[in-house]
Amino acid sequence: MSPYKDFTRRLKLLISKNPHLITTTLSNIFTMRLIGNKTHGDLAEIAIAEFINQFMYDFKSLHVGKDLYRAKTKEQDITITNEITKTEIPVSLKAFGNGPLQLSTDKNSRMFSKLKAAGELIEGKAGISLILKDPAFADFSDINVLPLIYDEKKKQCNILVFDFSEAMKCVTRIVLEKKGKGRKHPVYRFYDDAGGYVCEVRYGGADANALQRGLWTHTKNGRRHFDSITEGWIGYSHNHVLVKVFSHALLSTSKGHEAALVKLKEDIEEQKKQSKLT
């Protein structure tokens, strides 16, 4: 078992025993969408890092930060350390709506170029295996993605982890699908032996948005290839008090922040006691 799979297994166990902890955290994260459509994504990084530090005693987490992120050769938002084995696990957090999910950015279009060189249709285990062994794809297997998925209309959320290695074992056909059906650019789609959707590689042209290039999947169409860490959809609600806290905090001094932090820490400790984590 990989260090990341061990972590997600432990996270799943914690959530199964104390679902209220993740419900509170995800509700607060998705409340940030009331402030801005992208605000929740950045704040999810520090929230999940703190969640791990507070509630998962065999692990600690560090938020990488944007400056360090840009210097990294791999996609990473937080670093998780197993306190027992001392193994460091780089993790990329994604906060997306239920539907298309970008797993990895490929600004230089290495994946698309490799597939294009192989032709418009790639079939058979040997040909597909050769593609997946190429560094463009092999490098992705080292990226650990933790997607926080939400359905805003239903006020539901889920932590869905795409098992890339297992999903690739199911792939029997890779097909170039040209622009159309709402697509401006062609994509390579991966299908399993039943014709089911697995994932896709988007965009190779110079006119395509570089940040949109890369490996994508779909939380609805490719659901069978995901592991739900929350064991299904959980309801969440907006915390309007939190928005007020933010607005007041932005006008307050560090002295006020320190006083508020004391109270927040007390609240977290109370949650730990109720969850028998102390």
| pLDDT at residue number 67 | 56
Residue 262 has pLDDT above 90, yes or no: yes
Calpha distance 37→21 (Å, rounded):
24
Residue 70 has pLDDT above 60, yes or no: no
Rounded average pLDDT over 106-119? 89
Least confident of 23-27, 137-141, 268-272: 137-141
Mean pLDDT of 110-131: 92
- Is the confidence at residue 52, as pLDDT, over 90? yes
Rounded Cα distance between 3 and 49, Å, is: 17
Query: Does residue 71 have a pLDDT over 60?
Result: no
DSSP letter (8 states) at residue 183: B
Over range 10-20, report the average pLDDT: 97
Q: What percentage of the chain has pLDDT greater than the value 90?
A: 73
pLDDT of 66 > 70? The answer is no
Compute the average pLDDT of residues 152-158.
Answer: 96
Rounded CA separation 166/168 (Å): 5
What are the beta bridge partners of residue 180?
183
Q: Which residue's structure tokens are 């704040």?
A: 43
| C-alpha span between 208 and 108 (Å, rounded) | 11
Looking at residue 180, what is its pLDDT? 65
What is the average pLDDT across 241-251? 97
Q: What mean pLDDT do residues 23-50 have? A: 94
Residue 163 has pLDDT above 70, yes or no: yes
pLDDT value for 129: 92
CA 262 from centre of chain? 31
Q: What end-to-end distance do the CA atoms of the chain give, in Å?
A: 28
Residue type, 138: A
Tabulate helix, strand, coil % of the chain (nearest 5). Answer: 45, 25, 30
Distances (CA, A) of 242 to 112, 230, 237, 255, 264: 43, 23, 12, 19, 12
Lowest mean pLDDT among 70-79, 127-136, 259-268: 70-79
